[in-house]
């Protein structure tokens, strides 16, 4: 019996060698697949890019997921073999210097599909590919597994890419496992488990593989109302169209904008710097930013275990010419502004803002906000109050090419081109519009705005206690059973959006619309066949804007506009039994 088994095994190996010699495919990969192994310690294995059939001559690049602009390897050309389906579109990666645990996304662009109809035979005329397909795997898998980059791996990538910046590398596996269960019905990779390996092993030309999907693969070739298919949009490189088509096809099943749930236990702490200076957390976390280096570091981040009883503290150090203006995103700030602390109860984004100690001007600037000004297109008539001797003396010394600023006419910044002094308190000035960089040689401007209910469009405060405030509901046009709850206090910084039945917990607020206008639940999805996903409850939101600019040598050096949104939801989702594609 042992001799028979040995002969059989020898025959198989000989057959493999014959295939390898004629097809140019990876012998270690074939042996690995034959034996059902999921790891391999030999030389790098060949991978393959395939739209329907192999993408001959595709351009391949590998990226780390935290920097999708800098290729770690490539571009390299996938094999060009227009007569062989096994070797065409294959490529190898070495990923030198990258740890096995690093997540690597590989992009395959261009090339020609040599089996565009998927019939298992080389086409007479290949199909040009103008799009890009992605596949995500750890560096160890790119080194030790045979991975296919396909429309399925591209779909999976689109449903994980937006979550990558928000969760740790270890917890990313949770999302990948979810996507595998959404997309795969039966094991494809041969490890007897439905997991991410099945996404990477899928062969679009293999009918057996297509049968193991949890959805009908023909959806990718089914035209939408515009006559386009997902597959055609992928081939054309029409990314926006692809995303819209994916949303229309899979929104009942999964979202491209997932959020972490109770299974995720890490928080992301980000530190960023604005202006000239540095900040750091010190050991053991060692977050550090420094804009004064030859190669500035403007942002750093770390994932830490969620723990409301612990905090991380940052210390800022300005340069000799700058000062700490403020911090954004802190729970507490020291009296001298040198330190900021945040608890590890949720993800945090912290920004330290530096500004120049001394503002340097290119010419004199006269503040006319205390004067009476009539603002014309190119002229300003200025009437100075008789009791403001300092302002009268300042304007008496004004010269052509000086600048004037004021708040009349919606605010103005002008350069003086002509002066007609009628009296000591009355001037007619010829002017031209001016920009900040024409006025400031070096300086910093900073504005932090916390939005309130009074900032809402059309807000009208209640005329008397007990009456309701009014506000425009135009943002909810076309959205049934949803409304903005309006605070009676214009300085209230909390905005509340109600979904479905009005909750009794909104007793501090009054609706502009009648309560029956939001009776029932908000329909999030309707498959047209009686299947719906609805929501009811409330969402409370606080919004602020942190804006600053920095000018150096008369040129903009830094600019920032940060929107800070803190949202909490108490929403119930209800899916009926008919919710299926």
For every residue of 11-53, DSSP letters joined together read: HHHHHHHHHHHHH---HHHHHHHHHT-S---SSPPPEEEBSSS
Give me the CATH number covering residue 372.
2.40.240
Greatest distance between any 2 Cα atoms in the chain: 120
- 496-535 residues labelled b (16+ CB within 10 A) or e (exposed): bbbbbebeeeeeebbbbeeeeebeebbeeeeeeeebbbbb
Question: Looking at the structure, do residues 155 and 52 belong to the same domain, yes or no?
Answer: yes
Residue 36 CB neighbours (<10 A): 10
Summarize the confidence of residues 154-178 as an average pLDDT.
Answer: 95
Task: Domain of residue 387: give its range.
Answer: 360-434
Residue 477 within a domain: yes
| pLDDT recorded at residue 271 | 95
Domain finish residue from 356, 375, 391:
356
Report the range of poorest mean pLDDT among 67-81, 205-219, 494-508. Answer: 494-508
Does pLDDT of 19 surpass 80? Answer: no
Grade residue 338 by pLDDT with cuts at 50, 70 and 90: very high
Summarize the confidence of residues 414-420 as an average pLDDT.
Answer: 95
Summarize the confidence of residues 458-481 as an average pLDDT.
Answer: 78
Domain finish residue from 225, 250, 275:
250
Short-list 327, 339, 118, CA closest to 207: 118
Question: Looking at the structure, do residues 163 and 82 belong to the same domain, yes or no?
Answer: yes
- Cβ atoms 492, 505 nearer than 8 A: no
- Cβ atoms 73, 135 nearer than 8 A: no
| pLDDT recorded at residue 501 | 59
Does pLDDT of 228 surpass 80? Answer: yes
Rounded CA separation 266/172 (Å): 11
Does pLDDT of 23 surpass 90? Answer: no
Distance of CA 281 to the CA centre of its chain: 25
Mean pLDDT of the chain: 84
Does pLDDT of 174 surpass 90? Answer: yes
Rounded CA separation 578/130 (Å): 39
Grade residue 531 by pLDDT with cuts at 50, 70 and 90: confident
Give CA separation, 496 vs 171, 477, 537, 568, 570, in Å.
32, 17, 10, 10, 11
Question: Looking at the structure, do residues 195 and 101 belong to the same domain, yes or no?
Answer: yes
Summarize the confidence of residues 360-385 as an average pLDDT.
Answer: 92
Segment (H or E) for 447: strand 440-450
Tokens at 82, concatenated = 């227009």
Tokens at 194, concatenated = 């439905």
Short-list 324, 344, 334, CA closest to 278: 324
Tokens at 546, concatenated = 């942190």
Q: State the total domains in the chain.
A: 5
Q: Would you report the helix, strand and coil content of the chain in percent, each value rounded to 5?
A: 20, 35, 40
Contacts of 120 (CB under 8 A, 6+ apart): 85, 205
Grade residue 570 by pLDDT with cuts at 50, 70 and 90: confident
Summarize the confidence of residues 78-87 as an average pLDDT.
Answer: 83
Rounded CA separation 445/459 (Å): 29
In this prediction, what percent of the chain has a pLDDT beyond 90?
56
More confident residue, 244 or 463: 244
Summarize the confidence of residues 513-527 as an average pLDDT.
Answer: 56
| 3-class secondary structure, 57 | coil
Segment (H or E) for 563: strand 555-575
Question: Looking at the structure, do residues 12 and 74 belong to the same domain, yes or no?
Answer: no
Residue 441 within a domain: no
The structure tokens 């395939």 sit at 50
Report the range of poorest mean pLDDT among 59-63, 102-106, 442-446. Answer: 442-446
Does pLDDT of 177 surpass 90? Answer: yes
| pLDDT recorded at residue 290 | 95
Residue 442 within a domain: no
Cα distance from N-terminal residue to C-terminal residue, the chain: 52
Residue 14 within a domain: yes
Question: Looking at the structure, do residues 132 and 239 belong to the same domain, yes or no?
Answer: yes
Grade residue 252 by pLDDT with cuts at 50, 70 and 90: confident
Instruction: List, for residues 191-219, the tens digit of each pLDDT value.
Output: 999 999 999 999 998 999 999 999 999 99
Question: Looking at the structure, do residues 460 and 525 belong to the same domain, yes or no?
Answer: yes
Residue 296 within a domain: yes
Summarize the confidence of residues 452-468 as an average pLDDT.
Answer: 83
Residue 257 within a domain: no
Sign of CA dihedral 20, 24, 27, 33: negative
Summarize the confidence of residues 228-233 as an average pLDDT.
Answer: 93
Rounded CA separation 453/22 (Å): 72
| pLDDT recorded at residue 573 | 77
Question: Looking at the structure, do residues 179 and 148 belong to the same domain, yes or no?
Answer: yes
Does pLDDT of 466 surpass 70? Answer: yes
Residue 463 within a domain: yes
Question: Looking at the structure, do residues 43 and 23 belong to the same domain, yes or no?
Answer: no
The structure tokens 């405060």 sit at 461
Please give the order of strands across the beta sheet that includes 112-113: 55-56, 112-113, 127-128
Question: Looking at the structure, do residues 288 and 233 belong to the same domain, yes or no?
Answer: no
| pLDDT recorded at residue 488 | 86
Domain finish residue from 218, 250, 282:
250
Give CA separation, 126 vs 59, 107, 112, 121, 235, in Å.
16, 21, 6, 11, 12
Grade residue 545 by pLDDT with cuts at 50, 70 and 90: confident
Summarize the confidence of residues 420-434 as an average pLDDT.
Answer: 95
Question: Looking at the structure, do residues 244 and 382 belong to the same domain, yes or no?
Answer: no
Give me the CATH number covering residue 276.
2.60.40
| pLDDT recorded at residue 580 | 52
Grade residue 241 by pLDDT with cuts at 50, 70 and 90: very high
Residue 351 within a domain: yes
| pLDDT recorded at residue 87 | 87
Does pLDDT of 515 surpass 80? Answer: no
Rounded CA separation 222/231 (Å): 9
Question: Looking at the structure, do residues 93 and 22 belong to the same domain, yes or no?
Answer: no
Question: Looking at the structure, do residues 219 and 292 belong to the same domain, yes or no?
Answer: no
Which DSSP state fits 488? S
> Torsions phi, psi of 193, nearest 5?
-140, 140
Instruction: List, for residues 130-146, the tens digit of each pLDDT value.
Output: 999 999 999 999 998 99
Does pLDDT of 54 surpass 80? Answer: yes
Which DSSP state fits 222? S
Report the range of poorest mean pLDDT among 262-266, 367-371, 546-550. Answer: 546-550
Does pLDDT of 478 surpass 70? Answer: no
């Amino acid at each position: 019996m042992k001799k028979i088994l040995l002969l059989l095994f020898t025959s198989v190996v000989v057959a493999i060698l014959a295939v390898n010699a004629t097809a140019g495919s990876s012998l270690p990969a074939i042996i690995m697949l034959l034996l059902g192994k999921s790891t391999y310690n030999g030389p790098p294995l060949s991978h393959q890019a395939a739209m329907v059939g192999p993408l001959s001559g595709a351009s391949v690049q590998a990226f780390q997921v935290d920097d999708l602009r800098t290729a770690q390897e490539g571009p390299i050309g996938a094999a060009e073999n227009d007569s062989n389906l096994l070797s065409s579109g294959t490529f190898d990666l070495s990923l030198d210097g990258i740890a096995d645990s690093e997540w690597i996304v590989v992009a395959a662009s261009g090339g020609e599909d040599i089996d565009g109809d998927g019939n298992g035979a080389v086409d007479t005329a290949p199909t040009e590919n103008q799009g890009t397909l992605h596949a995500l795997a750890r560096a160890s898998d790119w080194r030790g597994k045979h991975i296919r980059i396909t429309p399925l791996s591209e779909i999976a990538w689109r449903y994980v890419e937006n979550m990558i910046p928000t969760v740790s590398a270890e917890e990313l596996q949770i999302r990948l496992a979810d996507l595998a269960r959404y997309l795969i019905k039966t094991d494809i990779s041969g490890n007897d488990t439905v997991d991410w390996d099945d996404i990477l092993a899928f062969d679009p030309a293999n009918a057996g593989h297509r049968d193991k999907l949890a959805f009908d693969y023909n959806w990718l070739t089914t035209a939408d109302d515009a006559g386009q298919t997902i597959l055609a949009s992928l081939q054309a490189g029409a990314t926006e169209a692809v995303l819209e088509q994916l949303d229309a096809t899979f929104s009942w099943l999964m979202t491209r904008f997932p959020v972490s749930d109770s299974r995720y236990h890490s928080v992301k702490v980000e530190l960023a710097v604005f202006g000239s200076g540095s900040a750091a957390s010190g050991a053991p976390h060692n977050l550090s930013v420094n804009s004064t280096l030859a190669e500035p570091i403007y942002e750093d981040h770390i994932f830490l275990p969620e723990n409301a009883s612990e905090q991380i503290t940052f210390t800022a150090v300005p340069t000799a010419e700058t000062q700490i203006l403020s911090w954004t995103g802190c729970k507490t700030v020291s009296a001298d502004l040198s330190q900021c602390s945040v608890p590890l109860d949720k993800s945090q984004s912290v920004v330290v803002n530096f500004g120049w100690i001394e503002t340097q001007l290119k010419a004199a600037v006269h503040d006319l906000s205390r004067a009476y000004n009539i603002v014309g297109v190119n002229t300003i008539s200025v009437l100075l109050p008789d009791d403001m001797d300092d302002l009268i003396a300042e304007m008496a010394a004004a010269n052509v090419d000086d600048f004037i600023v004021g708040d009349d006419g919606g605010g103005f910044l002008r350069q003086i081109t002509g002066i007609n002094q009628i009296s000591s308190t009355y001037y007619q000035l010829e002017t031209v519009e001016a920009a900040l960089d024409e006025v400031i040689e070096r300086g910093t401007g900073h504005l932090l705005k916390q939005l309130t209910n009074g900032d809402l469009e059309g807000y009208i405060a209640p005329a008397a206690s007990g009456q309701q405030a009014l506000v425009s509901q135009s943002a909810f046009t076309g959205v049934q059973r949803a409304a903005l709850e309006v605070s009676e206090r214009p300085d209230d910084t909390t905005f509340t959006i109600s979904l479905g039945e009005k909750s009794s917990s909104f007793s501090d607020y009054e609706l502009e619309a009648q309560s029956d206008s939001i009776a029932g639940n908000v329909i999030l999805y309707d498959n047209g066949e009686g299947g719906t996903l609805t929501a009811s409850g409330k969402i409370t939101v606080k919004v602020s804007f942190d804006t600053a600019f920095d000018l150096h040598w008369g040129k903009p050096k830094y600019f920032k506009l940060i929107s800070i949104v803190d949202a909490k939801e108490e929403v119930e989702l209800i899916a009926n039994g008919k919710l299926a594609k």
